[in-house]
Amino acid sequence: MFPRPIQGLSPTAQRAYKIALPVMLILWLLPLLGVAMTSVRPTSDLAAGNYFGWPSALAFDNYLTVFKNTALDKYLLNSFKVTIPTVIGAVGLSCLTGFALAIYKFRANHLLFFMFVAGNFVPFQILMVPVRDLTVSLGLYNSISGLALFHIAFQTGFCTLFMRNFIKGLPFDLIEVARVEGVTEWQIFRHVVMPLMRPAIAALSVLVFTFIWNDYFWAMVLTTGADTQPITAGLNSLNGQWIAAWNLVSAGSILAALPPVLMFFAMQRHFIAGLTLGAVK
């Protein structure tokens, strides 16, 4: 193990390490702690100039106020409406594409695979004008489905890379045996490979959930207004409206950050496995 396990060091060094851990953590998360604290700061504190000191009282009603006075509930709901279909769509499609690229040998295999990989790294700006046009001409501009449809398509790139590498790691004998038994290709996919893909599906779902929940650019390009915009774009307009009400903006930020954070904690192992497996095998 590297570095040398702390248990082998002197008791003083061990104690120093145990003190350093929480100190480093607090420094590291200071920006976040600041926001969390401000989100429960009463407005009177801000008026009195108490921005970073201890709050004079805990004003949890900031969270209620931000719901009451803004369209935050709509924005949050929109985020779910965009994110959930995208996760299902992109993961579903990439199960199929990943299977095809991992199992079959055909001439364009590598070309297609690298096309998915490269497309996934492309800057969003080169897609912006045509994708916006396409969405307008489909009559889907400023609609949840227009945004979700693009996300499904784009995420399919990353998801295909991920699924293909995962399936490539499965024992190929299983498929050979099934073929000799005369099982159809679809049944092989459905009954042999799919059950083994569960961990990959879980990992990919949390990752895609986080990516899409946190998307801001496409929300700005393809939607306007509280009826369709997700929370990221909503927060931006909230920030414009409530420029001085930092406690309310903070409460909104915490709410916006919560779903991916909860998701991460619930499925931590999958999330991290996904990040490292997804990037390169």
Partner 1 sequence: MAPITEKHTAAPRKRRSRQSLAPWLFLAPGFAMFLVYVIVPVFQSMWVSFFEWDGLSPKIWIGLGNYIELFDDEAFYTSLKNNVIWLALYMLAVPAGLMIALFLNQTVRGIRIYKSLFFFPFVISQVVVGLIFSWFYAPDFGLFYKLIEWVTGSQVAILADEHLVTYGIIVAGLWPQIAYCMILYLTGLNAVAPDQIEAARLDGAKGMKMLWYVVLPQLRPATFIALVVTVIGALRSFDLVSIMTSGGPYGSSRVLSYYMYEQALSEYGYRMGYGAAIAVVLFAIMMIFISGFIWKMWRDEQGAR
Window 2 to 31, contacts with partner 1 (CB under 8 A) = 2-7, 17-18, 20-21, 24-25, 28-31
Span near partner 1 by CB under 8 A; candidates 61-69, 127-135, 139-147, 195-203: 127-135
Nearest Cα residue to 236 out of 216, 251, 212: 216
Q: Whole-number minimum distance, CB 210 to partner 1, in Å?
A: 6
| Residue with tokens 């038994």, as numbered in its chain | 181
From the list 206, 115, 122, 194, the residue with the least C-alpha distance to 161 is: 115
| Minimum CB–partner distance for residue 198 and partner 1 (Å) | 19
Rounded to the nearest 10 degrees, the angle between the axes of helix 268-279 and helix 144-168 is 80
Neighbours of 266 (CB within 10 A): 10
Binding residue for partner 1, selected from 112, 170, 202, 226, defined by CB under 8 A: 112
Nearer to partner 1, 59 or 102 (CB): 102
> Of the two residues 69 and 268, which places its CB atom closer to partner 1 in the complex?
268
Question: What does the per-residue mask of binding to partner 1 show for 42-81, with x meaning CB under 8 A?
Answer: -------x-xx-----------------------------
Of 229-258, binders to partner 1 (CB under 8 A) are 232, 235-236, 239, 246, 249-250, 253, 256-257
Task: Provide the 10 A C-beta neighbour count for residue 89.
Answer: 19
Question: What is the nearest approach in angstroms of partner 1 to the Cβ of residue 12?
Answer: 15
Q: Look up residue 32 and give its two tokens.
A: 């976040």
Mark the segment that binds partner 1 (CB under 8 A) among 58-66, 139-147, 195-203, 217-225. Answer: 217-225
Q: Least distance from C-beta 30 to partner 1, angstroms?
A: 8
Tally the C-alpha atoms within 13 A of residue 164's C-alpha that lie toward its C-beta.
22
In angstroms, the first-to-last Cα distance of the chain is: 23
Which of residues 50 and 65 has its CB atom nearest to partner 1 in the complex?
A: 50
What is the distance between the alpha carbons of residues 110 and 118, in angstroms, rounded to a whole number? 12
Beta strands in 206-261 (DSSP E): none
Show the tokens assigned to 267: 């499925």
Cis peptide upstream of residue 5 (ω within 30 degrees of 0): no
The answer to whether residue 221 forms part of the interface with partner 1 (CB under 8 A) is: yes
DSSP state of 218: H
6 secondary structure, DSSP code: G
* Binding residues for partner 1, total number by CB under 8 A: 98
Query: Which helix (H) or strand (E) is 207 found in, with range?
Result: helix 198-213
Q: Which residues in 154-183 contact partner 1 (CB under 8 A)?
A: 154, 156-157, 160, 179, 182
Binding partner 1 by CB under 8 A: which of 43, 142, 143, 214? 214
Nearer to partner 1, 17 or 60 (CB): 17
Q: Is 128 in the site for partner 1 (CB under 8 A)?
A: yes
Burial class of residue 48 (count of CB atoms within 10 Å of its CB; 0-12, 13-18, 19+): exposed
Please give the residues from 87 up to 106 whose contact with partner 1 meets the rule CB under 8 A.
Answer: 93-94, 96-97, 99-101, 103-104, 106
* Residue in 23, 47, 123, 195 binding partner 1, rule: CB under 8 A: 123
Q: By C-beta, is 57 or 122 nearer to partner 1?
A: 122
The number of angstroms, rounded, from the C-alpha of 204 to the middle of its chain's C-alpha atoms is 10
